Every structure is written in structure tokens, then in C-alpha cells.
Amino acid sequence: MMSKIIKYVMTAIVGLSLVLINAPAFAADVTGKTSTQTLPTQTDTQTAPLPSKTRTAPLPSNVQETREYQQVDKPPVQKLDIPDWDLAGELRNVDRLFKTKGGMFNKHKVFNGLRFKLALMNKGKLKGSKDIPFKVTVLNVTNNTVIKQENHSIKRQTIRNDMWTLTDEWIFVVFGLGQTTAPSLGDVKLIVDIDPRNTFGEEQRHRGNNRCEAHW
């Protein structure tokens, strides 16, 4: 009986000795494996693509807000500033005048001036039959010298505000050509100023079309 107990004790001691001998080797083996093995790392340049957002939902239209926006801050409608009178004129049918000089055997025609008609219109609001005063000036353009200047008036002339009206009668301005006036008609300018004293009460900014000219 005693010998069996001793045998068991000896077996236990031998087994414990084997365990103590193998324990450091096992620990070294595990340590070596864990110290040399590294996990792969992901590169910093690799990024996951962002999801596409090309599909968008339309914003709801607000008809009420649009209508209110269109109705606010609109400037008031301004009436056109049309004056009562804005006389305008144009020279029409300008022609030369001649007179006959000399005796029976040496008759000849000599330049004796100009004749013309006036086309008139009111660019303003009013219309009717009015007396129209005007001034005629014949100018030598080479030296800016007045050859002839006269004041005239057209009685009861019809003035319209939608079309031109032509004077019924011819308007004559008599002058000659020569060294004391102008050598030729090419040196002459005919100027007609309508209502020079502004009896119609036009604003100064509307009087630019009161003058009409003819130059050869």
C-alpha cells in the first residue's frame, strides 16, 4: 500500500516537472509569433466614392408670392409731356425767280430771287386756323453777311397735328446776285424762322424745328 502511494507521488512530481520545463518554450513561441506578425494597413489615398446627388426634387412654385411680387413696387404710369404748340416747318418747292432785261434785240433773263412754299405742322396737341408769322433771311455763306431779311405773315393758315399742310400761295424773296451780294447762288443760304417772336408760347426746348433752311 505504501509503495503505491510513493509511486503516485513520483508520477505527479515527474509530470509537474515536464509542465514547468515546457511552459517557457510555449510562452516564447507565442511571443515570437505575435511580435513578428503585423496587420496590413490601408493607404491614406484610397477613399470611398461619395454617392451621386444628380437627382434633385423641383422646388414647389408659389403662385401667390409671384403674383404679389409683380404687383408691388411698380412705378405709376406717366403721361406723355406733349405741349399745346410745337410748330415745325419745312421748305417746299424752292425755285428761282428771273426778270427780263434789255431792249427788243438784247432781251435776257436775270436772276431776281427765290420763291417757295412752307409746309407747316403742329407737333403739339392743338390744331386750327392761325396766323403764322415768319422771318426770311438770305445769307451769303462765304462771309456770313445778310443779303436780305424780311418779316412775313400767313393769314388763317390751317395747322394740323397729324400731317403737314402746305401754304396756298407762293412766298417770294427778291434779291440779286453780284459783287455786293453773292457771286452765285451756290454762295447763298435761305433761312426761314417760323414765329420768331414766339407768339404761340412754345417752350424753348421745342423751338429747334421752327427753323428751316435751303442751301445750293
Within-domain flag for 207: yes
Does residue 137 fall inside a structural domain? yes
Mean pLDDT for back-to-back runs of 10 residues, the chain (216 residues): 60 58 47 46 48 50 51 59 94 96 88 97 96 98 97 96 96 95 96 97 94 95
Query: Is 41 contained in some domain?
Result: no
Measured from the Cβ of residue 84, the count of other Cβ atoms closer than 10 Å reads: 13
Task: Give me the domain span that covers residue 92.
Answer: 87-215
For residue 205, being part of any structural domain is answered with yes
Q: Give domain status of residue 153, yes or no.
A: yes
Q: What is the structure's pLDDT at 48? A: 47
Residue 106 domain flag:
yes
pTM: 0.62
Look at residue 81 in the predicted model and tell me its pLDDT: 82
DSSP 117-158: EEEEEE-SS--EEEEEEEEEEEEETTTTEEEEEEEEEEEEEE
Number of domains in the chain: 1
Q: Tell me, yes or no, whether 72 lies in a domain.
A: no
pLDDT value at position 61? 53
Domain-located, residue 127: yes
Judge whether 181 and 140 are in contact, CB under 8 Å: yes
Can you give the CATH number for the domain in which 183 is found?
2.60.40
